[in-house]
A and B are shown apart, each in its own frame.
Chain A
Amino acid sequence: MSDYAISVKNVSKKFKLFHEKRDSIYESAAGFFQKKRHSEILQALDDISFNVKHGEIFGIIGRNGDGKTTLLRIISKIYSPDSGSVDVKGRVIPVLSIGLGFHPELTAVTNIYQSSILLGFKKEDISKRIHEIIKFAELERFADTKIKNFSAGMQMRLAFATSVLVDPDILLLDEVFAIGDLNFQKKCFDTIMSFKKRGKAIIFVSHDMEPIKNFCDTVMFLKEGKVGKIGSPEESIAAYVDYLAKHPEINPKENLSDIV
């Protein structure tokens, strides 16, 4: 057995890209007799392997659509891989885009309970921390407001506060700092550093190279669904920039300076 917190081995994932999605029984039956292809295969992830140690912050960078979020979804079991395996030690909380699987018709407090119970945490443990979560998210006045009335920033804050305060062993963060004011961002960074000190593993996806450079121990550059580079933040960012420079059609040169 390895002492890694997350161990990803040869993971591949294909998606069917539907040009005309058949999602009714009638269409499936009718389509069965048609010769025309209605979908093509998109290789979202191709033979990805990497390990994350306890107490490590692992960054993932790459273009939009190159598989970053898909990879996080596979690690958190939302998707199942076509081949390969993911071994995760402990409870994982994924914070993807906005929200943590919140239901718009339930209040903030009910949602905290529901999401964390669904993720496998005990109700009593959450009860002890509920005030802390609301306070961290700076939503004291909105604790019993329905989520559908929340702004994107409020939802994100609630999701982040919930995910760090229920104390998971592994945290997956996808572009979480796009939202939130400077004060909140600082609080997030502090929390992440304390997670690291306590030996928890964090995977961090961002398009912003600044936090990647400052916080990550190791960075993986995902290139069209394959591992482009795994190394120190400097090495991987250099590989990413190099790749973008060679493909000016994807990313015009003049914007490169903004990225780095």
Chain B
Amino acid sequence: MTTIREEMWKTKDILFNFAISDLKIRYRNSVLGVLWSFIEPLLLLAVLFVVFSTMFRFEIPNFPIYLLLGIICYRFFQNGTTIALNSLTNRSATITQIYFPRSIPGLSAGITSAIMLVFELAVLGIFMAVFQFTPPITILLLPLILALEFILVLGIALPLSILNVKFKDTEFIWGVVISAGFFLTPIFYQFDMLPQAIQNVLQFSPMVQLVTMAHHVVLYGIFPSVNTILYAVGSISTITVIGYLIFRKYQARIAEEM
């Protein structure tokens, strides 16, 4: 018997192929196709920008870029986990008819969202040019932060794909988590605007840590403190290990649950 890890390693070639077909299915019958990857975040940006620069007025320098960066970071997390959520349930025919490593759909959802992220980062680049914003040198750390986020996405995508087969309401619960998370992450406000008591609780959220670090390195040229980095790495690896254990517990019997 091969272990799950060996099996996952052996099938790394399949993953990319699977991610591409995920994208094809996602944009099937849509005229604009992959352009949605650009349009969706831009529309969200437009709405938030109008609301928070005219009605509520937060004094955040370079607000459009601040906002877009937060939206992009959050959407990476949102896309990866929500695509993963239905990645196994959508393929019930495949799962009951052939054997393949059950980690493939969940992991490839993470890759699909990473591909979409690349498109969205291009939009961010265009924005920076339009607003004549020259990012500080610390922006070179952004890929590392996003890589850390990628691990978080995989660590949640894997168990979510399996849990949604086992418990059909995982989908609804996760939908609530994602919507709440959007407001509880400093995307359209700054973290220190929140009351101290709330800050104390929310600082444990890995998304808060990731988005704050992204803002720091892209906009302010602030190098994340060792504490922040250690904390983010620690919490994300804990989540990923727990996620993997959940996945391992349920994966063998998944075809029977279909």
Contacts and interface: CB of A to CB of B under 8 A. Distances in A.
Asked if A and B bind, the verdict is yes
A91 to B, nearest CB: 11
A118 B100 contact: yes
B72 to A, nearest CB: 28
A157 to B, nearest CB: 16
Contact of B167 (A28, A76, A104, A119): A28
A78 B91 contact: no
B183 interface: no
A77 B99 contact: yes
B253 interface: yes
B255 A79 contact: yes
B25 to A, nearest CB: 5
Interface string B44-56: 0000000000000
Interface string B1-45: 000000000000110011001001100100000000000000000
A213 interface: no
A114 B93 CA distance: 13
Given A15-B256, A78-B96, A114 B18 contact: yes
Interface in A8-42: 15, 23-26, 28
Given A15-B256, A24-B167, A118-B104, A76 B98 contact: yes
Nearest to A73: B255
A78 B28 CA distance: 29
A78 B99 contact: yes
A103 B94 contact: yes
Interface stretch (A47-55, A94-102, A177-185, A238-246): A94-102
Tell which of B17, B95, B97, B169 has the most Cβ of chain A within 10 Å. Answer: B97
A101 B253 contact: no
Contact of A100 (B28, B95, B98, B167): B98
A117 interface: yes
Given A77-B99, A106-B24, A24 B168 contact: yes
Contacts of B17: 113-114, 117, 123
Interface string B214-258: 000000000000000000000000000000000000001101110
A224 to B, nearest CB: 20
Dominant secondary structure of chain B at its interface with chain A = helix
Contacts of A102: 93-94
Interface in A79-115: 79-80, 92-94, 96-97, 99-106, 110, 113-115
Interface residues of B, number: 29
Interface in A55-74: 73
A172 B93 CA distance: 17
Given A24-B169, A118-B14, A78 B97 contact: yes
A78 B167 contact: no
Interface string B165-181: 01111100100000000
Given A80-B253, A114-B18, A117-B14, A25 B170 contact: yes
B197 to A, nearest CB: 30
Nearest to B172: A24
A205 to B, nearest CB: 14
Nearest to A101: B94
B169 A25 contact: yes
A234 to B, nearest CB: 32
Contacts of B94: 101-103, 115, 118
Contact of A106 (B21, B96, B100): B21
17 contacts: A15-B256, A24-B168, A25-B169, A78-B98, A78-B99, A92-B99, A96-B97, A97-B97, A100-B98, A101-B91, A105-B25, A105-B28, A106-B21, A106-B24, A114-B17, A118-B94, A119-B100
Given A28-B167, A101-B98, A102-B94, 9 more contacts: A25-B169, A76-B99, A78-B95, A78-B255, A92-B99, A96-B96, A106-B24, A110-B21, A114-B17
Interface of B: 13-14, 17-18, 21, 24-25, 28, 91, 93-100, 104, 166-170, 173, 252-253, 255-257
